[in-house]
Structure 1
Amino acid sequence: MERVILHLDMDAYFASVEQQLNPALRGKPVIVCGNPNLRTVVAAASYEAKRKGVKTGMSIREALDVCPDVRIVPGDPIRYAETSKEIFRCASDFTDRLEVASIDEGFLDLTGIADLWGGKSALGAALKRRIRQRTGLPCTIGIAPNKLVAKIVADRAKPDGLQVVEPGDVPAYMAHLPVEEIPGIGPRLSSRLADLGITTCADVRKMGEQFFTSRFGAYGSFIFRAAHGQDDTPVVVTPPEPKSMGHSYTLPFDTLDFAFLRSVLFRLCEQVASRMRQGEFCGNVVTCVVRLSDFTTIVRQRVCRGIPPDGRRIFHAAWELFLSFSVSRPVRLLGVSVGGLHHSSDMPLFPDEIRREHLYRCVDDTNARFGEESVFPATFLMEKQVAARVVKTHAFSFWQFRERKNGR
């Protein structure tokens, strides 16, 4: 059966949300950023601002230089996340085969059902109307036989567009497409291809696949297939979002050593933050759980608006909750969780946040590649040093425990 894939992409999403909420901003150049009183960058720009040269990632000063009359609006990630949920609820009215790709874009697999809505164009138009009715926001839709081409079609149909490319039209549609418009081919790779005399998909087709694999390895196959509009990547149905994420840990011994407990709690907060980053979540509630040596369990919560996936921020709230317990008996178990999860914005707004975001991504990538805790905060050392001295150490990837387990 012929695949039918729809790519949904909101237009200048953050800025469009602000323009919808404030009619005075409509038709005006608008940028969304962090606190305008602090050093920050452009997180999003309306199409009116983009036409005057404003780009995402610019400093506010640079944006004002190219567009002096731009309206500066502080970002509201929680509002954007809630609006995003409503957008994808609209999409789920048409099919449950829905992949949420980011806060403002997704893929729908319409295979076998498009005709039930009067055809591909009619279904796309119905989805655009529903999103506009419920949120007031414009979006662009591309429909094609696969995810790659559907995304390209949507990117080229912006803003507020709707375009369908039938399977038989894909070769002609892709032929004159510049290679840099293929998702996954960035400026550096397109520059290397240009040095080889390759600037369009038609140029790629003139060469055999071997030409690209010999120069770019396995990625060469992707370049060759993408230039032909070929992509068999499935729509990965996004599971229901979790309401909370947490970790708990039974200590290797009951203790009132606050330095040790502080180290354990910090490690648990980092674990929670890492999972939140994987799902691109923020939260609203921090919960701390303490179980004492007599099995008494104490649970307390704190509402904190917009908790980012940052272990330090989670820890500060969790440690204050722990201290409020006034613990007088040895602790047996610690736990922490973050609830009220919602999708965070794709881009941090403040320079310090950007640097910390890059650091966390590097740490996450390193640990994913080389193993859990290949890189870890120095605060973990207290827990590791104490646990290494006991026979019944916990199973949280300590080298001494691993060596004993492996008989070394």
Structure 2
Amino acid sequence: MSSVDLTISFVIAVALYAVTYLSFVRLLRYPRNWRSPTLPMSLTTAGLVTITVSYVSVSRDGLDPAALAVTAGFIAVLFGIIAAPAIDFPSGARPVVEFLANHGDYAGLWMLAPAIAAAYAVPSVKLQGVLTAAMAIELAWFLRHRPNDRRRLYPIGGHDLSVLKAQAKGDLEGFARQHGIHELVLSDGAVYWRGCGKETLPCPFNFYVNRLGLNTAPCCREHMAELCHYVASRLRDMGVVHWLEGGNLLGAVRENGRLIAWEDDIDLSVVLDSGKTFNALATGLAECCAREGYYLDVFKNKGFISISYDPPQVWPFCWERNRMRGEIRLDLAFYRHFVSNDRPVLERNIRKGAMPSTESGGYGVPREIVLPTSTIEFLGDNIACPNQPEEYLRLLYGDFDEVVYTYVDAAAAKNRRPADTAVKRSHSLPARQ
């Protein structure tokens, strides 16, 4: 082949891998949200992988088995590494996945040595194009998110420290090393947390809270409060009826306006009325979020919108956020007016707590315990809530004064219970459902 033909083959291979990679990281939005990928998107990604592998391994001389094996194996292993943080979002005992997720910022670079070896072992310019593109992307990902000095140090004490020590069984350094807690700083007997912000990756506090049983990181608590009141203010500006939902409402009622100690997200709900539609509200919020630096994702079939603290990136690189190990987010659930068993209800697609089912197959709450909404103090400001918040909580959780460690690993919940009980007795810090 001429040098021009070789260059064209190399460029095509680079482009094919880049497109395949972007399709794959886009697919990761589903496991991050505890959902199964859609069939069309799964088939699209699988098709792109097949095309890329076929392009590298098939030539005028026929099939090259070595190129086929190396390309398919390399992509499979690298994509497994890339997917680990998203797969690790839902709870479960997966030591290998957890290990890869702990090192997700740079684990892709572990494939550099195999890539160099493969390039020498299989002298194919197409394979070299795929390997070059893959390693360039992994290097760029690492450089964008490498450790930096833009993280503020937060002192860790009180209930946060008691829970941390309980989970670490006193060995904070070993615990941090075992679970990849890069944010933990031990200095002269003091404990600090290297906080996240708009210019850094978010703390993987979802993992720390649900799997390790720690309290929500102090930086993440601040950002969750900001995100909560930002979205609530935009909804007020748009004239949308909304209210505090689920565990956040529980914190407002039971914990005197605070987040539950191990909260992992913010929950608000809206009701579509007065001619408002899902699409119109999603469009309006998307414009606000894009302008003011929040990422918005829409799940229309499930009836909710996710708004995250991290700023949106330029398309198509916005999909790379699905590689992040953590996320500070608000879920906005949509209700609609409905009549079930001759009673007016507000109905939604996804069940919340023990919310009863409706005649149409959705889940709902009696309209009169929500509307008209009232207000309650939460995270330093007033926010809309159901007009009968305690009745609403009883419908979702039964005896909501009982502490139930929803989503927290059972062993981690057992470890932290004494610290939570001590705090509850002293009335100084929250315990949670």
TM-score normalised over the length of structure 1: 0.22
Higher CA-based Rg: 1
Structure with bigger strand share is 1
Structure with bigger helix share is 2
